[in-house]
Amino acid sequence: MSLITLDNVTKHYVNGVDCVIALQDLSLVFEEGSFLGVMGPSGSGKSTLLSILGGLTRPSSGNVHIDGIDVYRLNIEKLADFRREYLGFIFQSHNLIPYLNALENVMLPLAVTRLSTEEKHRRATEMLKRVGLPDRMLHLPQQLSGGEQERVAIARALVNNPPLLLADEPTGSLDTATSNQVMSLLKELHEDGQTIIMVTHNRENLRWVDRTVFLRDGRVDRDVCNNSCDILPQAI
């Protein structure tokens, strides 16, 4: 079952008299429950693609459907609700609040919900246990290793139980051993049914994914099925 459909998506930026094309007529279909890697040289459109999927950057033309929702036909308020309910974000820099402990950082996405304080605490606690940090909940970010900070960021991204997890270079600042630990965790989440789209520059990370889309100059250069996945027909 397809979760995401991009239909002739183009994004260009105007810089003075220059027009930079970040994505050009991109059409892709992503299955629910897949683990997708996106790779390409600098300027190929990887970050722009992730930003468009995340409801953060409006395409210049084309359509984006996630779970049947035409994302960029939503008004600002409904788009914010959509991001909160459907998407989890993992950033290379972690983006943890330095004066909040791990548990409080994970609880942040729940602040705008109507859940009780006890339920927010319970969900955040369970998620930190799930990512292997049951004994680090009260530690501040600076008291955690890089890998532990990434695990907190993953827990925060998942605490709302979003259908789609978007990861931007999740191992970019980590050493090889820690990168493997983080990728192993993402693979476990995927095997539990989580849909993940990951931008990476590290080819070693591609051994963990089902499918890899290679971008070049804003277009699909190659679309490779790594394991036993089925690549759905592109949108037309």
Instruction: Give exposure, 173-187, as e/b (b: 16+ Cβ within 10 Å).
Output: ebeeebbbbbbebbb
Per-residue model confidence (pLDDT) at position 236: 36
24 neighbors 10 (Cβ within 8 angstroms): yes
Domains of the chain: 2-225 (3.40.50.300)
Say if residue 230's pLDDT is above 80: no
Does the reported pTM lie above 0.75?
A: yes
| pLDDT over 90, % of the chain | 78
Locate 27 and state its tokens: 């059409």
Locate 198 and state its tokens: 């990951």
Q: DSSP letter at 58?
A: -
Max CA distance (Å), the chain: 55
Per-residue model confidence (pLDDT) at position 228: 56
Q: Which residues contact 67 (CB under 8 A, 6 or more apart)?
A: 3, 86, 163
First to last CA, the chain: 17
Q: What are phi and psi of 148, to 5 degrees?
A: -70, -40
Say if residue 157's pLDDT is above 70: yes
Could you report the per-residue pLDDT of 93-147, keeping only the tens digit for each? Answer: 788 999 999 999 999 999 888 889 999 999 999 999 989 999 999 999 999 998 9
